[in-house]
Amino acid sequence: MMGKLIGGGVSFIIVIINLILKIVIIASITWVGEDTNSEQLSSITNGVFAAQFFNTGILLVLVNANLSEHDPLFVTKYIKGPFYDYMPIWYAEVGEKLVQTMLIQAIVPYITLCAGFAVPWLKRKIDRGLCSKDEYKTKKTSMAAYKDLFSGVDYVIHFKCSGVINIVWVTMMYGVGLPILFPIAAFNFFNQYVCERITVTYQVKLPPALDDQLTNNELSKISYAPLLFLMNGYWMLSNP
């Protein structure tokens, strides 16, 4: 029981780190800027995805791997985890944490959805006074500030795209040895579909018109996922 609690804690920490990395990378790339809005969104998507995939699909496995006998030794000599290969105990120790991480990420859309309703409501309640029921009472001193309080936030579509690519890559990379990842990924996509429909309808401003560059960029990244399925899947099957 204690081991499961610790594993769940590690998975939760990974999800939190993913969220922090997304925020930092989005702010950094936005500060640097691109020639067009579509290019900037594509750059943010790629940057957030790279950080998220490394943190979710690589780092957790890497810290538990033992590569001390592989080249280049000046790097691998410091990687001295307990597992030399995909042995049965790896699935119980590392695989379980990976599954828990993906399962937590499948629930995150509902948490984000609830926060999207709760935070604006609380801000408006504080603005008019916690005990006041007068909807026309406000502490704002300008119409622009008042409208901003009751307007939705910007829709961060690039944030969603990077998450979708990460789910596909992690699922394809470890799905052969951990087939439970496939129904978890389907559950995640269903949750995102439901939550995004509600978010776009009730919470955010009308998204800006974009060309197909962001969509093509996402499809391009997803198209490489079957290679991970073949390569890492063969490795998993060769070490039962």
Per-residue pLDDT of 7-52, as tens digits, reads 445 556 666 766 676 667 667 666 666 667 777 778 878 888 888 8
Average pLDDT over residues 89-118: 90
- Give yes or no for residue 97 having a pLDDT over 70: yes
* pLDDT score for 6: 39
128-183 pLDDT, tens per residue? 887 777 777 888 888 888 888 888 788 878 778 888 999 999 999 999 999 999 99
Residue percentage of the chain with pLDDT more than 90: 25
pLDDT at 73 > cutoff 70: no
Give the closest residue to 139 by CA, choosing from 152, 153, 123, 154.
123
- How far apart, in whole angstroms, are the C-alpha atoms of residue 123 and residue 150? 9
Contact 217, 45 (CB under 8 A): yes
Pinpoint the alpha helices (H) of the chain.
Answer: 2-32, 37-53, 59-62, 73-76, 88-90, 96-128, 143-150, 157-174, 181-202, 213-222, 225-237
Distance of CA 74 to the CA centre of its chain: 32
Q: How confident is the model at residue 197 (pLDDT cuts 50, 70, 90)?
A: very high
- Calculate ∠ Cα 124-18-8, nearest 5°: 100
Lowest mean pLDDT among 7-16, 61-70, 180-189: 7-16
Residue type present at position 96: E
pTM of the model: 0.79
Predicted local confidence at residue 240, as pLDDT: 59
pLDDT at 193: 93
